[in-house]
Amino acid sequence: MFTGIITNLGEILKKTEKVLRIKAETKLLKKLEKGMSIAINGICLTVVRIKKEYFEVDFIPETDNRTNIEYLDEGSLVNLELPATASSFLSGHIVQGHIDGISKLMSIKKKGNSYTLKFFISSALFKYIVEKGSIAVSGISLTVSEVQNNYFTVDIIPYTWKETMLHTLKIGDFVNIEVDILAKYLKSLLKKED
């Protein structure tokens, strides 16, 4: 489990059909252990190798099909978050690291000291998104500011813009989306009761 509060950025050093090699700060690398989970752009993956300046994770075809891994290149910045613990401060929201789909960036508008990002959303995910509700965009816990039939927007404060990979996004880029787990459970429960 994660909280969507990004603690570090990493850089993709190498990508194969099944492995990501990610350069990370020494401080983060010292906290990693083989076999532990880490969220990379919101994707819960398992650390399989740790070296002096990088770590590696394996991924499977299901992960490749459901996330934006195929759009990552060597040199891409990625959001990194270690798993929450029983004593973690939950300042974001409950994020599982189970990506529900990808979304395309439609626009970026600067508003004062903030940015409004508009993302296309599929009809399959639209039903889970509510105004002022929680959503994880590439692992970042954010609040939905507006939702319409085929898009939603989020407003980004200067700190989040600078300290996450959001500042590297361009129109047309794809991000990972994880909708609020409570919405998914509620829909499943109501469906079962029908």
**109, pLDDT greater than 90:** yes
Express as a percent the part of the chain with pLDDT over 70.
99
Cα distance from N-terminal residue to C-terminal residue, the chain: 30
- Averaged pLDDT score across all residues of the chain: 93
pTM (2 d.p.)? 0.93
Model pLDDT, residue 116: 98
Q: Which domains, from first to last, does the chain contain?
A: 8-81 (2.40.30.20), 101-193 (2.40.30.20)
Find the DSSP H helices in the chain. Answer: 26-29, 61-66, 123-126, 158-163, 181-193
Average the pLDDT over 112-132 and give the result.
Answer: 94
What pLDDT sits at residue 86?
A: 74
Cβ count within 10 A of residue 29: 19
33 close to 54: Cβ distance less than 8 angstroms: no
